[in-house]
Amino acid sequence: QGTSMLPSSSPSPGVQTTLGTVDIVVLVVYFVLVLAVGLWSMWRTKRSTVDGYFLAGKNMTWWPVGASLFASNIGSGHFIGLAGSGAAAGIGAISYEWNGMLMVLLLGWLFVPIYIASGVTTMPEYLQKRFGGRRIPLFIAVLYLFIYIFTKISVDMYAGAVFIQQALQWNIYLAVILLLFITALYTVAGGLAAVIYTDAVQTGIMLAGALTLMVFSFVEVGGWNAMLEGYFTAIPSVRVPNSTCGIPRDDAFRLFRDPVNSDLPWPGIIIGMSLPSMWYWCSDQVIVQRSLAAKNLTHAKGGSLLASYLKILPFFIILLPGMISRILYTDEVACGDPELCTEICGNPVGCSDIAYAKLVMELLPAGLRGLMMAVMIAALMSSLTSIFNSSSTIFTMDLWRCMRPRSTEWELMIVGRVFVLVLVVVSVLWIPVVQASQGGQLFIYIQSISTYLQPPVSIVFLMGCFWKRTNEKGAFCGLALGLLVGCCRMVLDFIYPSPPCNEEDDRPGVVKHVHYLYFSTMLSVLTLLVVVIVSLATEKPRPEQISRLTWFTRLDLVEMPKEQQEQVFTMERHGKASEMITTGTKEPADVERSSVQSQSRLVSAIYWLCGMERRTETENSPTPPPSPEEAICSLEEEPCLRHVVNTNLIICLAVAFFLIGYWA
């Protein structure tokens, strides 16, 4: 079936290729720890409101925000795919990670202030406020859910589940269903707070386990210099004659490669990679939702800084061990013959994706192997919880509220939790499709899909945030045309995949000669031109579509519309009247107390688990949006802390540019 990630050849003498008793104990301790943290976060967080469930009460400090940003990004697909890319082609793929270092800083300093000032919960909601109308927000909401369900969930779930299948010898469906059940349990019950706190724990577990494996890898290979020299001699003994199959790239240790003939041309890295990366880090619901959960702007910036510093590590703890795996297990990881590759891992294109799993199962002793299994599960669960929570947020706040604009907060809470369960079912049904896609190829497709679908969205957000003249017609035309062109190229890529190294490349010229990073650049320019031309040719946006919704107007003080003022005034009067009734007579309070006591303990326990509370009629009515003054206040920063985060910004940028420059 092409699902095996580990070689079918016999293991080395004395090497255990399944988990022992000590490893199982470590895994059980890990699960107990994660569930304990999830229950603790559920206990201390108010989960019965929209802000409480979807934005963790907007009360998160910088370190769980930063850890959750990192854990949401580094999924099990990273451990399989990034290590595999290192084994196959050298350090080039790390440019995705170091590009992300810069983009997550853009999020904290440029985009989050705009999102906070606008008072939004989701990214489609921001577009609805900025441009008006319903077509752009609905378009984006559906696109986001499509990307999450059919790319992010599938690749992480497949990579993690196959790892578990090989280690525990479980059926892959059993492994996935068990993981999805545990993941959905605290996502449904705990909301974003449980997701963020468990992400913080899993970040620590991921770093501890991956750093341990890195040390073992370098000791085994003989150190840094031995790795630099050994990689170029790691040529498999069986290859297709007169071909480049299995031969390491000459530019394996260069980040900036030939602009015409290489796998990652340097102009494409600078521009074509940056725009999809900007979509992911600055306008993707999964990422932005964590920053919006911070208690204030300073903590949001601090979270971005921590995530940026942590993004340095995948080079050392994932990619370099993948390259070492090629040196240690050359014939299997770097197999150069399609028939032999099919025999080893079920994929005729190559077996580089087994690099990390091979290290774990053959290099680590008992106990540590269990720790690395916990790392893989942590990477999988942290990504899935993030996607589940953010997907339910988009569906509930953007699609469901559009269908039922008068829905109560109680109804939104129920819908958000039920949609997570729907996602779990869809994920399980998607497994056969992922299996047929043979994991390694799927990871490559994921990169190209992001390149074809994300640049138009990035341009729309960029122009909406930083050019006041952008209007709804310009944004929609640019988005629609950009996605149409991107989808055409994506379909061509699926129809004409890259041929194996021993076969002639007979793909059409537009696919063969236009690298996907160059295509990303051209797609971005096309979208930008359409947005600018159509916006200038049509009417200006209304004042309420600009105020507090762009970088230049984020500090505006605008009076609420008269209808909204009347609504707030009426609700305030209603609240005071009900307060007078409650304090003036004891009967309403007594009735409410007796009704609570009459509930069965089972029902009360279920309500607590789901974070739901019984509401009175007045409590269950739609809540008014925050006043402009409330949104502005959250942008204030303490001068001392502002200097601290700004100093760290300069240091972090210096480190990023040094790393990129050193390896360029």
pLDDT digits (tens, 9 = 90+) for 240-259: 776 777 889 899 999 999 99
pLDDT classification of 507: cutoffs 50, 70, 90: confident
Q: Output the pLDDT for position 620.
A: 47
Strand, coil or helix: 260: coil
Distance CA 333, CA 344 (A): 9
Spell 633-651 as b/e; 16+ CB within 10 A means b: ebbebeeebeeebeebbee
427 has a pLDDT exceeding 90 = no
Distance CA 245, CA 530 (A): 43
Q: Output the pLDDT for position 646.
A: 96
Distance CA 10, CA 503 (A): 30
Nearest to 303 by CA among 66, 532, 76: 66
- What would the two tokens of residue 326 be? 């090629």
Half-sphere exposure (Cβ direction) of 606: Cα atoms closer than 13 Å: 7
Q: Output the pLDDT for position 4.
A: 34
Q: Using the structure block, give the residue that is written with the tokens 């507090």.
A: 548
611: left (phi over 0), alpha (psi -120 to 50) or beta: left
Q: Output the pLDDT for position 179.
A: 74
Distance CA 281, CA 195 (A): 18
Which of 83-87, 344-348, 430-434, 577-581 shows the lowest per-residue confidence on average (mean pLDDT)?
A: 577-581
CB 458 within 8 A of CB 278: yes
- What would the two tokens of residue 611 be? 């974070």
Q: Output the pLDDT for position 591.
A: 41
- What would the two tokens of residue 249 be? 């790239």
Nearest to 107 by CA among 254, 257, 304, 307: 304
290 has a pLDDT exceeding 60 = yes
399 has a pLDDT exceeding 60 = yes
Distance CA 166, CA 76 (A): 14
608 has a pLDDT exceeding 50 = no
CB 477 within 8 A of CB 531: yes
Measured CA to CA in angstroms, residue 509 lies from 450, 512, 515 at distances of 21, 5, 10
Distance CA 17, CA 23 (A): 12
**pLDDT tens profile 326-381:** 999 999 888 888 888 888 877 777 788 888 888 888 888 888 888 888 777 777 77
Strand, coil or helix: 265: strand
Q: Using the structure block, give the residue that is written with the tokens 């601090």.
A: 302
Nearest to 187 by CA among 153, 219, 215, 221: 153
- Dihedral pair phi/psi, residue 16, rounded to 5°: -95, 125
Strand, coil or helix: 486: helix
Measured CA to CA in angstroms, residue 171 lies from 31, 159, 164, 175, 377 at distances of 20, 14, 9, 6, 16
Which of 189-203, 386-400, 425-439, 613-627 shows the lowest per-residue confidence on average (mean pLDDT)?
A: 613-627
CB 302 within 8 A of CB 62: yes
Which range of 345-349, 574-578, 584-588, 609-613 scores highest in mean pLDDT? It is: 345-349
CB 91 within 8 A of CB 315: yes
CB 187 within 8 A of CB 420: yes
| % of the chain at pLDDT higher than 90 | 33
Distance CA 511, CA 631 (A): 47
14: left (phi over 0), alpha (psi -120 to 50) or beta: left
CA 412-417-418 angle, to 5 degrees, is: 100
Distance CA 279, CA 460 (A): 10
631 has a pLDDT exceeding 50 = no
CB 153 within 8 A of CB 427: yes
35 has a pLDDT exceeding 90 = no
Q: Where are the domains of the chain?
A: 21-39+61-432+632-663, 562-626
CB 302 within 8 A of CB 646: no
Distance CA 587, CA 626 (A): 33
Q: Using the structure block, give the residue that is written with the tokens 């802390």.
A: 641
Q: Does the pTM exceed 0.85? A: no
Q: Output the pLDDT for position 521.
A: 94
Name the CATH superfamily, with its identifier, for domain 21-39+61-432+632-663: Sodium/glucose cotransporter (1.20.1730.10)
Distance CA 487, CA 34 (A): 40
- What would the two tokens of residue 325 be? 């795996």
Distance CA 93, CA 249 (A): 13
Comparing 379 with 124, which gets the higher pLDDT? 124
What amino acid occupies position 8? Answer: S
Q: What is the 3-state secondary structure (H, E, C) of 396-437?
A: HHHHHHHHCCCCCHHHHHHHHHHHHHHHHHHHHHHHHHHHHC
